Chain A
Amino acid sequence: MIKINILEASSLTKKYGDFTAVNDIDFYVEDREIFGFLGPNGAGKTTTINMLTGLAGITSGSVYLSGVNYTRETKKAQRLMGIVPDESNLYDELDGFENLTFCAALYGMEKRKREERAGRLLQQFGLAEAAKRPFKSYSKGMKRKLTIAAGIIHEPKILFLDEPTTGIDVASARQIRKLILDLNQKGTTIFLTTHYIEEAERLCHRVAFIVDGKIVRIGTIAELMKEVQQETIVQFTLDGDISQLMQAVTDQFPNFTTEILGENMLRIHSTSLIPLMPFMKFFEENNRVVFEAKMIRPSLEEVFVKVTGIELGKMKKEKEKKGAGGKK
Chain B
Amino acid sequence: MKSWIAFWNILRKDMKNYYLKPPNISWGIIFPFAWTLMFFIRSQSSFDVLSILPGVVSMSILFGTTSMLAVTITFERKSRSFERLLLAPLDLNLLMLAKTTGAIIFGVLNAFIPIVFALFLTDLSVVNWFAALGSILLMAVTSTFLGLFIAVSVSEAFEAQTFSNFFRFPMVFLCGLFIPVPELPFFLRPISYLLPLTYGADILKSSINGSGDILPWLSFLILLCFSVFLFAFSTKNVKKKWIY
Contacts and interface: CB of A to CB of B under 8 A. Distances in A.
A78 B5 contact: no
A90 B82 CA distance: 9
Nearest to B95: A106
Contacts of B42: none
A110 B13 CA distance: 16
A107 interface: yes
A321 interface: no
A129 to B, nearest CB: 23
A290 interface: no
Contact of B244 (A55, A91, A105): A55
Interface string A81-95: 001010101111110
Most buried by A among B2, B83, B87: B87
B81 A91 contact: yes
Contacts of A108: 1-3, 5-6, 89
Most buried by B among A102, A105, A106, A109: A106
Nearest to A83: B87
Interface in A100-148: 102-103, 105-110
A167 B80 CA distance: 17
Contacts of A78: 87-89
A55 B87 contact: yes
Interface of A: 16, 50, 53-57, 75-76, 78-79, 83, 85, 87, 89-94, 102-103, 105-110, 327
Interface of B: 1-3, 5-6, 8-10, 13, 17, 79-81, 83-91, 243-244
SS class, residues of chain B in contact with chain A: helix
A104 to B, nearest CB: 9
Nearest to B242: A55
Given A56-B244, A92-B79, A107-B88, 4 more contacts: A85-B80, A94-B17, A106-B85, A107-B2
SS class, residues of chain A in contact with chain B: loop
Contacts of A16: 244
Contact of A89 (B5, B6, B17, B81): B81
Contact of A75 (B1, B8, B89, B243): B89
B243 A56 contact: yes
Nearest to B3: A108
A57 B89 contact: no
Contacts of B10: 106
B5 A109 contact: yes
Contacts of B80: 85, 87, 89, 327
Contacts of B89: 75-76, 78-79, 106-108
B243 A102 contact: no
B243 A54 contact: yes
A93 B14 CA distance: 11
Nearest to A87: B80
A85 B88 CA distance: 14
A318 B1 CA distance: 46
A108 to B, nearest CB: 3
A55 B17 contact: no
27 contacts: A53-B87, A54-B243, A55-B87, A55-B243, A56-B243, A57-B243, A57-B244, A75-B90, A75-B91, A76-B89, A78-B89, A79-B89, A89-B83, A89-B84, A93-B17, A103-B84, A105-B9, A106-B6, A106-B9, A106-B84, A106-B88, A106-B89, A107-B89, A108-B1, A108-B6, A110-B5, A327-B80
A94 B6 CA distance: 16
Nearest to B13: A102
A107 B1 CA distance: 11
A169 B149 CA distance: 41
